[in-house]
Structure formats: structure tokens, C-alpha cells
Amino acid sequence: RLARLRARLVKSNNVFGRSLLALLSSDQIDEDVWDEIEETLLMADLGTEPTMELVDRLRERVKVEGSRDPDRVRALLREELTTLVDPSLDRSLNVRAAGRPAVVLVVGVNGVGKTTTVGKLARVLVAEDKDVLLGAADTFRAAAAEQLTTWGSRVGVPTVSRDEGTDPASVAYDAVAAGIEGEVDVVMVDTAGRLQNKANLMDELGKVKRVIEKQSEVDEVLLVLDATTGQNGLNQAKVFSEVVDVSGIVLTKLDGTARGGIVVAIQRQLGVPVKLVGLGEGPDDLAPFDAETFVDALLE
Ligand code: GDP
């Protein structure tokens, strides 16, 4: 799985990696080169502060070591990037609960890949021999519930859905109730994400969570973000984290972007680890996030 993650990431990030490594291989790493390094990191969506910090530390270390050996400079860059991505964060999914189903709430703006992620994650959990049940709490579009049900049958798990326009909280409640009744291991609830109306979204998501909590704890709140949306995605993330306690990020569409630096920016700004990454539209295109594999792929 990690090998595949690496291969996919290399494919999408090599523009970034190649230009960085080319820069670091210059005979003379002068002021212009450092500027270009900074620009490259900014273009990869690493964020202003982390970029400045990284470049400052790298410059300092290059100066202290007095080494211009490109291999050494590369090794230093790898170290500094890895520190920024933070390998010490706990990225495991909280999907084990004693005596009841674990409840995973999946939130995010429409179009980021929420439903697809629920489907892919269900497949991963089924492969781990878990009984999974899906709840289609996006009741604003009939198509959303249909799409989730299709994913459910594709990976062989039941989906609780109700008519379009039903109160999302009641669907979430019914899904968790069905999960408890059926003694499943994990209930995953897909939600709507119309950010156009922030007050409504707050009310709705807050209510979904409260209603679930009448029967069970919510073990994991996964916020799905589209890696190609850059700073805009970060702003969305902030809105969601004000409404629900986000416990993990799923970063989708990392296969289509050289802006992997967004991982660092997200973790910094939200204080929440990236736990999973989406690497394509297919059922197997979801991988656990691993800091070292990720940085290696960035620098390939
Ligand atoms: P939702 O509205 O947030 O539920 O988004 P969907 O799950 O319907 O996904 C929106 C589109 O993004 C669909 O065409 C998906 O196939 C696509 N998509 C989802 N995840 C990924 C990913 O990791 N990579 C790519 N390339 N496309 C993705």
C-alpha cells in the first residue's frame, strides 16, 4: 500500500520535487537560489510561515555545516520537511469501540469527494473484516443518497437512506440505531456541505452530532478537503472546525496536484492531522497518510 502511495504521489509531485532538487544542486546557492526555493515551496501550498521557517533553518544549517554538497543539502531539506509534516502525530483512525459501533461522521463541502471517500473507506474497513453500515444524511439532493447507496452495494455494505428533504439528523439517528441493532463495528455517516449558508450548516451539522450523541459517542469526525483548492480549502476547513470537533483530515485529489505542501498548512492551522489521502476516483484509491513516504515522494 505504501509503495503505491509513493508511486502515485511521485507522479503528482515530481514537478515540485524536480525543481527543488535542481535548485539545491546549483554550484552556488546564492540569494537568488534561496528566493527560488522559497517560491517553489509557496507554490506547493506549504504556506508562508512554514516556508519562511524552513528556508531560514535550512540556510542556517547549510551555513553552519559549511557544506555545499548537493546530496547533503538535499538530506537537510528532507529532514526539515519531515519535521514540518510531523511524523509524531497519531494518524490512526478511531474505529474501535467497545460494546457498540464506532461512529464516524464525514463532513466537508460538496464536491470535495466526501461520498467517494466514505465508499473507499468502507472498502478498507470491510477488508479488515469489519461490519460496516452507511448513513446517507445528505438529504438535500436525492442523487447524493443514491450515490452513497451505489457505493454501499459496490463494497457490500448496507446504507440507511430516507427521502430527499428528510431531516439529516433523523437519518443519522436512524443509521446509528440500525448499527447498534445490527451490532455492526462501524457506522459511517455522510453529510451535506452547503457552505453558502454558514449559519444553516452550523445548525445542521451541530444537530446531526447532538442527535447521534443521544445514542452513542461520535468517535471520529473526518473533514474531507480537496487538495487542489489550496487556501480556499483551508478557509472552508476553519468554518467546519468551528462547528464540529474535527479529529482528522482526509485530503482528496492529491493525484491531480503538485500542491502537496497543503498538508503542512492544514495541520498547522487546524491542529488536526491528515489521516488519509485520496489518490484517484477508484475504490482502492485511498491510503493512510505517512509523513516519511510523503516527503520522499515530494522530493523524488
Ligand atoms: P462530495 O460531493 O463531497 O460527496 O464529492 P464526491 O464524492 O461526489 O466526489 C466529487 C468528484 O471528485 C467525483 O467525480 C469523484 O470521483 C472525484 N474524486 C473524489 N476523490 C477523488 C480523488 O482522490 N482523486 C480524484 N482524482 N478524484 C476524486
Per-block mean pLDDT, blocks of 10 residues, the chain (300 long): 64 63 75 86 86 92 83 87 92 93 95 95 96 95 92 97 94 98 97 77 88 96 92 85 92 81 88 93 91 81
The CA-to-CA distance between both ends of the chain, in Å, stands at: 18
Q: Is 252 annotated as a binding residue?
A: yes
In this predicted structure, what is the pLDDT of residue 195?
A: 66
Q: Is the CB–ligand 1 distance for residue 119 below 6 Å?
A: no
- Rg value, the chain, Cα: 21
Output the pLDDT for position 14. 55
Contact residues for 191 (Cβ-Cβ < 8 A; gap 6+): 105, 106, 107, 114, 137, 138, 168, 172, 204, 205, 208
The pLDDT, as a whole number, for residue 71 is 80
Segment holding 251, helix H or strand E: strand 248-252
Nearest CA to ligand 1 atom 5: 113
Whether 209 has a binding-site annotation, put simply, is no
Tell me, what's the ipTM?
0.98
pLDDT value of residue 70: 75
130 is in an annotated binding site: no
> Looking at residue 293, what is its pLDDT?
84
Find out whether 157 and 178 touch, Cβ atoms under 8 Å: no
Q: Are 123 and 155 in contact (CB under 8 A)?
A: yes
Cell of 153: 452495494
| Sequence-ordered list of residues with C-beta below 8 angstroms from that of 94, at least 6 positions apart, any chain | 102, 219, 220, 247
Report the alpha-carbon distance of residue 31 to residue 227 in Å, rounded: 31
Q: Would you state the pLDDT for residue 12?
A: 57
pTM here?
Answer: 0.91
77 close to ligand 1 (CB < 6 Angstrom)? no
Residue 113 alpha carbon to ligand 1 centre in Å: 3
pLDDT for the residue numbered 275:
96
| Per-residue confidence (pLDDT) for residue 42, from 0 to 100 | 86
Our answer on whether the CB atom of 120 is closer than 6 Å to any ligand 1 atom is no
